[in-house]
Amino acid sequence: MRKPLIAGNWKMHKTVSETLAYLRRFRELVAGVEDREIMVAPPFTALYMAGQELAGTHIRLGAQNAHWAESGAFTGEISPLMLKECGVAYVILGHSERRHIFGETDEMIRQRLSGVLSAGLKPILCVGETLEEREAGRTMEVLETQVRSALSGFSAGELQGLVIAYEPVWAIGTGRTATPETAQEAHAYIRGLLGDLFGNDRAAEVRILYGGSVKPENIASLMAQPDVDGALVGGASLDPETFARIVKYG
Protein backbone atom coordinates (compact mmCIF):
# COMPACT_ATOMS: atom_id res chain seq x y z
CA MET A 1 0.00 0.00 0.00
CA ARG A 2 1.24 3.48 -0.89
CA LYS A 3 1.00 5.83 2.09
CA PRO A 4 -0.76 9.05 1.03
CA LEU A 5 1.34 12.22 0.96
CA ILE A 6 -0.29 15.63 1.34
CA ALA A 7 2.25 18.34 0.56
CA GLY A 8 1.94 22.12 0.80
CA ASN A 9 3.92 24.33 -1.58
CA TRP A 10 3.90 27.86 -0.19
CA LYS A 11 5.74 29.37 -3.19
CA MET A 12 6.92 32.96 -2.46
CA HIS A 13 4.77 33.49 0.62
CA LYS A 14 5.43 33.95 4.36
CA THR A 15 8.27 35.55 6.26
CA VAL A 16 10.19 33.68 8.94
CA SER A 17 7.92 34.97 11.70
CA GLU A 18 4.79 34.13 9.70
CA THR A 19 6.14 30.63 9.08
CA LEU A 20 6.75 30.08 12.78
CA ALA A 21 3.22 31.19 13.70
CA TYR A 22 1.74 28.94 10.99
CA LEU A 23 3.68 25.85 12.03
CA ARG A 24 2.80 26.19 15.69
CA ARG A 25 -0.90 26.36 14.83
CA PHE A 26 -0.72 23.67 12.15
CA ARG A 27 1.02 21.21 14.47
CA GLU A 28 -1.94 21.45 16.83
CA LEU A 29 -4.46 20.96 14.03
CA VAL A 30 -2.91 17.78 12.61
CA ALA A 31 -1.74 16.20 15.85
CA GLY A 32 -2.49 12.50 15.80
CA VAL A 33 -2.84 12.21 12.01
CA GLU A 34 -0.46 9.30 11.46
CA ASP A 35 -1.95 7.30 8.57
CA ARG A 36 -0.75 9.75 5.90
CA GLU A 37 2.44 11.73 5.37
CA ILE A 38 2.34 15.52 5.68
CA MET A 39 4.85 17.96 4.18
CA VAL A 40 5.20 21.73 4.02
CA ALA A 41 7.60 23.64 1.75
CA PRO A 42 8.21 27.19 2.99
CA PRO A 43 10.53 29.67 1.22
CA PHE A 44 14.29 29.10 1.53
CA THR A 45 14.67 31.88 4.11
CA ALA A 46 12.41 30.06 6.59
CA LEU A 47 13.75 26.53 6.12
CA TYR A 48 16.30 26.44 8.94
CA MET A 49 13.85 27.75 11.53
CA ALA A 50 11.10 25.49 10.18
CA GLY A 51 13.41 22.50 10.46
CA GLN A 52 14.02 23.27 14.11
CA GLU A 53 10.31 23.79 14.79
CA LEU A 54 9.32 20.51 13.09
CA ALA A 55 12.14 18.36 14.51
CA GLY A 56 10.68 15.34 16.25
CA THR A 57 7.22 15.81 14.73
CA HIS A 58 5.49 13.78 12.03
CA ILE A 59 5.42 16.77 9.64
CA ARG A 60 8.09 16.61 6.95
CA LEU A 61 9.94 19.65 5.63
CA GLY A 62 10.22 20.31 1.90
CA ALA A 63 12.14 22.75 -0.28
CA GLN A 64 10.82 24.34 -3.45
CA ASN A 65 13.88 23.70 -5.63
CA ALA A 66 17.57 22.75 -5.47
CA HIS A 67 20.68 23.11 -7.58
CA TRP A 68 22.47 19.97 -8.75
CA ALA A 69 25.95 20.81 -7.37
CA GLU A 70 27.05 20.46 -3.75
CA SER A 71 28.75 23.87 -3.95
CA GLY A 72 30.22 26.22 -6.52
CA ALA A 73 30.01 29.53 -8.32
CA PHE A 74 26.24 29.51 -8.79
CA THR A 75 25.03 32.86 -7.49
CA GLY A 76 21.54 32.71 -6.01
CA GLU A 77 21.30 28.91 -5.98
CA ILE A 78 20.87 26.53 -3.03
CA SER A 79 22.57 23.13 -2.92
CA PRO A 80 20.97 19.89 -1.75
CA LEU A 81 23.50 19.62 1.09
CA MET A 82 22.50 23.06 2.37
CA LEU A 83 18.88 21.94 2.36
CA LYS A 84 19.67 18.68 4.10
CA GLU A 85 21.37 20.52 6.97
CA CYS A 86 18.15 22.52 7.45
CA GLY A 87 16.20 19.31 8.00
CA VAL A 88 14.67 19.10 4.53
CA ALA A 89 13.36 15.68 3.50
CA TYR A 90 11.66 16.44 0.16
CA VAL A 91 12.53 18.74 -2.72
CA ILE A 92 10.01 19.92 -5.34
CA LEU A 93 11.55 19.87 -8.84
CA GLY A 94 10.27 20.87 -12.26
CA HIS A 95 7.27 22.87 -11.05
CA SER A 96 5.49 24.50 -13.97
CA GLU A 97 6.43 27.95 -12.68
CA ARG A 98 10.09 26.95 -12.84
CA ARG A 99 9.63 25.57 -16.34
CA HIS A 100 7.49 28.33 -17.83
CA ILE A 101 8.53 31.48 -15.95
CA PHE A 102 12.21 30.73 -15.34
CA GLY A 103 12.93 28.62 -18.39
CA GLU A 104 14.10 25.42 -16.73
CA THR A 105 14.61 22.71 -19.31
CA ASP A 106 14.03 18.96 -19.00
CA GLU A 107 17.81 18.50 -18.85
CA MET A 108 18.22 21.00 -16.01
CA ILE A 109 15.47 19.24 -14.09
CA ARG A 110 17.17 15.89 -14.65
CA GLN A 111 20.42 17.33 -13.27
CA ARG A 112 18.63 18.77 -10.24
CA LEU A 113 17.01 15.38 -9.66
CA SER A 114 20.43 13.74 -9.71
CA GLY A 115 21.82 16.18 -7.16
CA VAL A 116 18.86 15.74 -4.84
CA LEU A 117 19.10 11.95 -4.96
CA SER A 118 22.86 12.05 -4.38
CA ALA A 119 22.26 14.01 -1.18
CA GLY A 120 19.79 11.40 0.07
CA LEU A 121 16.76 13.65 -0.31
CA LYS A 122 13.44 12.67 -1.89
CA PRO A 123 12.46 14.46 -5.10
CA ILE A 124 8.90 15.43 -5.97
CA LEU A 125 9.06 15.64 -9.76
CA CYS A 126 6.33 17.85 -11.23
CA VAL A 127 4.96 17.17 -14.70
CA GLY A 128 1.95 18.52 -16.56
CA GLU A 129 0.57 20.03 -19.73
CA THR A 130 -0.54 23.55 -20.59
CA LEU A 131 -4.07 24.39 -21.70
CA GLU A 132 -2.90 24.70 -25.31
CA GLU A 133 -1.27 21.27 -25.16
CA ARG A 134 -4.38 19.69 -23.67
CA GLU A 135 -6.68 21.26 -26.25
CA ALA A 136 -4.34 20.00 -28.99
CA GLY A 137 -4.65 16.45 -27.65
CA ARG A 138 -0.99 16.34 -26.61
CA THR A 139 -1.37 15.67 -22.87
CA MET A 140 0.09 12.17 -22.89
CA GLU A 141 2.86 13.16 -25.30
CA VAL A 142 3.93 15.98 -22.97
CA LEU A 143 3.81 13.74 -19.91
CA GLU A 144 5.89 11.09 -21.63
CA THR A 145 8.54 13.59 -22.69
CA GLN A 146 8.79 15.14 -19.23
CA VAL A 147 8.88 11.83 -17.36
CA ARG A 148 11.34 10.08 -19.67
CA SER A 149 13.65 13.09 -19.89
CA ALA A 150 13.81 13.60 -16.12
CA LEU A 151 14.38 9.92 -15.32
CA SER A 152 16.77 9.16 -18.17
CA GLY A 153 19.90 7.34 -17.06
CA PHE A 154 18.65 6.35 -13.61
CA SER A 155 18.16 2.82 -12.36
CA ALA A 156 15.17 1.75 -10.32
CA GLY A 157 17.39 1.46 -7.26
CA GLU A 158 18.64 5.02 -7.61
CA LEU A 159 15.09 6.37 -7.57
CA GLN A 160 14.10 5.14 -4.12
CA GLY A 161 11.81 7.72 -2.58
CA LEU A 162 10.82 9.30 -5.89
CA VAL A 163 7.44 11.03 -5.89
CA ILE A 164 5.78 12.40 -9.03
CA ALA A 165 3.24 15.22 -9.01
CA TYR A 166 0.87 15.60 -11.94
CA GLU A 167 0.02 19.28 -12.18
CA PRO A 168 -1.97 20.33 -15.24
CA VAL A 169 -0.73 23.88 -15.78
CA TRP A 170 -4.23 25.06 -16.70
CA ALA A 171 -5.47 24.14 -13.22
CA ILE A 172 -2.74 25.76 -11.10
CA GLY A 173 -4.05 28.80 -9.27
CA THR A 174 -6.94 29.18 -11.70
CA GLY A 175 -9.71 27.65 -9.64
CA ARG A 176 -10.14 25.05 -12.39
CA THR A 177 -9.53 21.50 -11.21
CA ALA A 178 -9.13 18.40 -13.31
CA THR A 179 -12.03 16.07 -12.66
CA PRO A 180 -11.15 13.00 -10.61
CA GLU A 181 -11.50 10.93 -13.79
CA THR A 182 -9.16 13.24 -15.74
CA ALA A 183 -6.61 13.09 -12.94
CA GLN A 184 -6.86 9.30 -12.76
CA GLU A 185 -6.33 8.97 -16.50
CA ALA A 186 -3.11 11.00 -16.35
CA HIS A 187 -1.88 9.25 -13.19
CA ALA A 188 -2.49 5.81 -14.69
CA TYR A 189 -0.60 6.84 -17.81
CA ILE A 190 2.35 8.07 -15.73
CA ARG A 191 2.39 4.81 -13.76
CA GLY A 192 2.42 2.93 -17.06
CA LEU A 193 5.45 4.95 -18.17
CA LEU A 194 7.21 4.07 -14.93
CA GLY A 195 6.38 0.43 -15.57
CA ASP A 196 7.98 0.63 -19.01
CA LEU A 197 11.09 2.23 -17.54
CA PHE A 198 11.58 0.33 -14.30
CA GLY A 199 9.11 -2.57 -14.20
CA ASN A 200 5.59 -2.81 -12.85
CA ASP A 201 6.64 -3.71 -9.31
CA ARG A 202 8.70 -0.55 -8.95
CA ALA A 203 6.02 1.53 -10.67
CA ALA A 204 3.45 0.28 -8.16
CA GLU A 205 5.55 1.69 -5.30
CA VAL A 206 5.85 5.26 -6.62
CA ARG A 207 3.42 7.78 -5.19
CA ILE A 208 1.80 10.07 -7.77
CA LEU A 209 0.28 13.28 -6.37
CA TYR A 210 -2.28 15.55 -7.98
CA GLY A 211 -1.76 19.31 -7.94
CA GLY A 212 -3.96 22.07 -9.31
CA SER A 213 -6.51 24.05 -7.26
CA VAL A 214 -6.84 21.34 -4.60
CA LYS A 215 -9.32 22.38 -1.89
CA PRO A 216 -11.06 20.79 1.11
CA GLU A 217 -14.12 20.39 -1.12
CA ASN A 218 -12.45 18.26 -3.82
CA ILE A 219 -9.65 16.38 -2.04
CA ALA A 220 -11.75 13.35 -1.05
CA SER A 221 -13.02 12.69 -4.57
CA LEU A 222 -9.51 12.99 -5.96
CA MET A 223 -8.08 10.65 -3.33
CA ALA A 224 -10.76 8.07 -4.12
CA GLN A 225 -9.04 7.39 -7.45
CA PRO A 226 -6.81 4.28 -7.46
CA ASP A 227 -3.69 6.01 -8.81
CA VAL A 228 -3.98 9.29 -6.91
CA ASP A 229 -1.71 8.93 -3.89
CA GLY A 230 -1.84 12.42 -2.47
CA ALA A 231 -1.83 16.09 -3.35
CA LEU A 232 0.59 18.92 -3.93
CA VAL A 233 -1.37 21.90 -2.64
CA GLY A 234 -0.57 25.51 -3.49
CA GLY A 235 -2.79 28.40 -2.41
CA ALA A 236 -4.98 26.34 -0.10
CA SER A 237 -1.90 25.35 1.94
CA LEU A 238 -1.22 28.95 2.99
CA ASP A 239 -3.87 28.91 5.71
CA PRO A 240 -3.23 26.34 8.45
CA GLU A 241 -6.92 25.72 9.09
CA THR A 242 -7.68 25.10 5.42
CA PHE A 243 -4.63 22.93 4.85
CA ALA A 244 -5.42 20.88 7.94
CA ARG A 245 -8.89 20.20 6.51
CA ILE A 246 -7.24 18.93 3.32
CA VAL A 247 -4.80 16.78 5.28
CA LYS A 248 -7.67 15.25 7.27
CA TYR A 249 -9.79 14.39 4.20
CA GLY A 250 -12.10 11.42 4.55
Q: Looking at the annotation, which residues are catalytic?
A: 95, 167
Q: What span, in angstroms and rounded, lies between the C-alpha atoms of 161 and 221?
A: 25
Which residues lie below 8 Å from residue 209, measured CB to CB, with a gap of 6+? 5, 7, 124, 163, 164, 165, 166, 228, 229, 230, 231, 232
100, with CB counted inside 10 A (0-12, 13-18, 19+), is: exposed
Q: Which amino acid is at 64?
A: Q
Rounded to the nearest 10 degrees, what angle do helices 139-151 and 180-198 cross at? 40
Instruction: Give the closest residue to 113 by CA, choosing from 158, 73, 77.
Output: 158
Q: Which residues pair with 13 in a beta bridge?
A: none
Instruction: Give the closest residue to 3 by CA, choosing from 45, 49, 34.
Output: 34
Q: What span, in angstroms and rounded, lies between the C-alpha atoms of 214 and 127?
A: 16
Q: What span, in angstroms and rounded, lies between the C-alpha atoms of 201 and 38?
A: 25
- Region class of 197: left (phi > 0), else alpha (psi between -120 and 50), else beta: alpha
